[in-house]
Amino acid sequence: MSTDIIVRFTDSYVQKLGDIKKVVGLMSPKSLIQIIDTLDLDANPRNSRLGSVTDAIQASIRADELSPAQKLFPFKSKGILLASSSYEPLERGRYRLSFTPHDEVEGILDGGHNTLAIGSYILSEAELALGNRPPKKSEVSIWDSFKQTWTIRRADIEEYLSLLREDKTALKEQGISTLNFSIPVELLVPTDPSDALCVENFRTSLLEICDARNNNAQLTQGTKGNQEGLFDSFKALFVEKYPEFAGNISWKTNDGKPIESRKLVALSWIPLSLISSTVTSGDIEAPQPPLVYSGKEKCQEKFLQLMRDDRVTRASGSARRELKNPQVLSALKVATDLPGLYDEIYSRFPKYYNKTGSYGKIGAVKSLKNSRDEYRTPFFKNEAGNPVPEGFIYPLVCGLRALMEADDQGKVYWKTDPHKFLDSPAFENVVAQYSGVIQQSDYDPQKVGKGAMSYTAVENSMKLAVLMG
């Protein structure tokens, strides 16, 4: 269900080129209030965060309305870039815009920091006008927190707007903003919204425009891939399997979530390595196992290359791509098990290692100890008895590949139940043999995690364990 808002431009002009029309002008903060009410930063490659950039924006708009700083704000700032494929021109520089919730193509394409800075400023001024406590910085520091606080306190903003209408002079005398500044805004719309082909071409162009507009901030490959929809299937599988965990995965810059998506993407190459060359006729080779530990950015780059391949995904009409390859989908389903299995190995490893050596005496382990002696597993944050260096864990996790298989259709599945395997004496024996690799690597997690021998030794041990039944 779409939501309509009406925005008003002043000093505006229109440019048309092909299927895209651009309206350039100035907007009142009161129009921005409607935009914040309606939109999130779904179409923006990153979530905005308060910092030096937003401080500078607020310093400009906080200045006296007659000061040079406030007058120059529209010229110093890039402002906000909006896009809507459904719109209607109205009188007096007004436009009715229609937005669909959670549209990751239309909405605020650029200017998230401006939106956050101005929105949090309006909210603070509203509370000052009403004699209330302004929001704490933690309540507005990143977009998601700000939007939640904005929604909770929305009635206060409405009351503030009412006071502005009744007696603007009294508020000004108290040093409270009268919102008498202008915001530079660009609005992109299709040249002919009634022409389906024109609208499709318009929406297809938006991702490229968004990417180019945000290049000055050096978007990560992962953030760009997220905007293209290349992680959507992987995300959906996590939501289906572990909804709470899925809500903690960071897929875009500055979203404040604790689990790095690139770690999960790197782990996905464990099952994907069974099929990648088959799916792409050898054009895309899986990264070597040590890179799952030490080259997560490289693994992500390879993943995006795989997902952009026309044999794996197809364009969905808006420059976003949808997964169509059943073999890749099966591998990603298996990959959703790996964070939990990683945590299981993390919890068991110290106890199993102690059967052949003294885990607590390893220098790298001592350096991870804390005064509370409290530890959690990396992904699901379950209680753990000891900290474990990542370099010791990754070869064991990658070794789980020995428990997977691709069937005649090329779909990946677990041929051996991994949870039962980790509970078995067979896995204890694998750890016992692996402890020799750690010893030969001078108990250095970096040498272990980056050494090809570590991965080969573990996978061979697991293969043998599976054969022995």
HEC string of 75-127? HHCCCEEEECCEEEECCCCEEEEEECCCCCCCEEEECHHHHHHHHHHHHHHHH
Confidence of residue 330 (pLDDT cuts 50, 70, 90): very high
Confidence of residue 318 (pLDDT cuts 50, 70, 90): low
Q: Indicate the SS3 state at residue 315.
A: strand
3-state helix, strand, coil in the chain (%, to 5): 55, 15, 30
CA-CA-CA-CA dihedral for 445, 373, 398, 307, to nearest 10 = -110
Percent of the chain clearing pLDDT 90 (strictly above): 68
Per-residue pLDDT, averaged over 351-360, amounts to: 93
pLDDT for 281: 78
- The region of weakest confidence among 124-133, 311-320, 347-356, 360-369 is 311-320
Q: Indicate the SS3 state at residue 424.
A: coil
What residues contact 215, with CB distance under 8 A and at least 6 apart? none
Distances from the Cα of 408 to the Cα of 54, 270, 402, 405, 412, angstroms: 56, 19, 17, 10, 10
Per-residue pLDDT, averaged over 66-70, amounts to: 62
List the alpha helices (DSSP H) in 309-399: 326-335, 338-353, 363-366, 390-399
Question: How far apart (Å, rounded) are the C-alpha atoms in residues 90 and 95?
Answer: 5
Q: What is the pLDDT of residues 91-112, one digit of tens each?
A: 999 999 999 887 788 999 999 8
Residue 136: Cβ-neighbour burial (10 angstroms; 0-12, 13-18, 19+) = exposed
Question: How far apart (Å, rounded) are the C-alpha atoms in residues 112 and 402?
Answer: 46
Residue 66 predicted with pLDDT over 60: no
| DSSP string for residues in 241-288 | H-HHHHTTEE-SBT---SEEHHHHHHHHHHHHTTTHHHHTTTSSPPPP
Question: How far apart (Å, rounded) are the C-alpha atoms in residues 384 and 374?
Answer: 8
CB count within 10 Å of CB 89 equals 12
- The region of weakest confidence among 4-18, 71-85, 284-298, 450-464 is 71-85
- The region of weakest confidence among 7-11, 159-163, 252-256, 278-282 is 252-256
Per-residue pLDDT, averaged over 384-395, amounts to: 96
Residue 296: Cβ-neighbour burial (10 angstroms; 0-12, 13-18, 19+) = buried
Confidence of residue 224 (pLDDT cuts 50, 70, 90): confident
Q: Which residue type sits at 17?
A: L
Q: Indicate the SS3 state at residue 178.
A: coil
What residues contact 417, with CB distance under 8 A and at least 6 apart? none
pLDDT for 463: 94
Rg (CA), the chain: 27
Q: What is the pTM of this model?
A: 0.71
Confidence of residue 89 (pLDDT cuts 50, 70, 90): very high
Confidence of residue 217 (pLDDT cuts 50, 70, 90): very low
CB count within 10 Å of CB 346 equals 25
pLDDT for 19: 94
pLDDT for 52: 87
Per-residue pLDDT, averaged over 345-361, amounts to: 94
Confidence of residue 212 (pLDDT cuts 50, 70, 90): confident
pLDDT for 243: 95
- Phi/psi of residue 234, each to 5°? -65, -45
Tokens 């704000």 belong to which residue?
73
Q: Share the mean pLDDT of the chain.
A: 90
Per-residue pLDDT, averaged over 222-239, amounts to: 90
Q: How far is CA 14 from the centre of its chain?
A: 34
What residues contact 336, with CB distance under 8 A and at least 6 apart? 234, 237, 238, 241, 242
pLDDT for 320: 82
More confident of the two residues 317 and 424: 424
